A and B are shown apart, each in its own frame.
Chain A
Amino acid sequence: MRYLTDRKRAVGKGSAHSGAEHHWYMIVSSVALAFMVPTFLYIFGNALGSGYDAALATFQRPFPAILTGLVLVVGLQHFHKGARVMIEDYTQGSTRKLLIMLVIGLSYALTAAGLFALAKIAL
């Protein structure tokens, strides 16, 4: 019997040498999102269509603002890593590289825009 974990046996294998880290990140972020998303959905669903003042009051409170920020950051990291696997499955060469760049850029742009909005609302 070898005293190695399954993860240790997988680290560094494969052409990218970073697949184990990628897979582990997807597990961590999915568990985090599994806890956060239903609560976020409840807050966002109530705020949507409640009118300007009520929506503003909701996202000025610390819990909804922090939770929304976390869902955006973790959700979009989870998205770009997942979308990247899809791109790598179906495309090759320069198309693949450009699409990966696009999806990473898009994720960070949406995260930054969302966090800016939350900061402006809360402060």
Chain B
Amino acid sequence: MADENRIQRPLSPFMIGPYYRPQLTSMSSILTRITGNALIVATFAMVWWLLALAAGPEAFATAEWWITSWVGNLVMLLSLWGMWYHYLAGLRHLAFDAGKALDIPTAEKLGWACIYGSVVLTVLTVLLFWI
């Protein structure tokens, strides 16, 4: 069994909370996780749409109505931004994995590049498909 008289070892505090000031590096990192996991919502919608397409015109009309309703459009728009953010942050992660761009000024520049870049790419995608 676990020893009750365990040594109280210091714990590393979580990056979000009272111990650390919010920083671009930590915030852009947690946002990668949030956007990546949130994309499961768009995946559900996409698989539902495909199943409806396979099932026939009536099921397809229902799915399409929901996905292109204002709620569906909002979810799709947010997912689109999340996808582009996760995409750019993922590319940045590949650079970090290769041991590149790890100094703070470069990492912060790339953080802003992910944020602004994802907004620009989202606007371009919307212009391409919705207009």
Among A31, A48, A75, the residue within 8 A (CB) of B67 is A48
Interface size class of A (residues with CB under 8 A): 35 or more
Chain A positions within 8 Å of B46 at CB level: 44, 114
* Contact yes or no, B90 A117, CB < 8 A: no
* Contact yes or no, A45 B129, CB < 8 A: yes
* Contact yes or no, B37 A86, CB < 8 A: yes
* Contact yes or no, A114 B36, CB < 8 A: no
Shortest distance from the beta carbon of B102 to any chain A beta carbon, whole Å: 15
- Residues of B that sit less than 8 Å from A by CB: 33, 36-37, 39-40, 43-44, 46-47, 49-51, 53-54, 57, 60-61, 64, 67-68, 83, 87, 90-91, 93-94, 97, 125, 128-129
Q: List 10 A-B contacts (CB under 8 A).
A: A27-B94, A44-B46, A52-B60, A59-B53, A110-B43, A114-B50, A117-B51, A117-B54, A118-B50, A118-B54
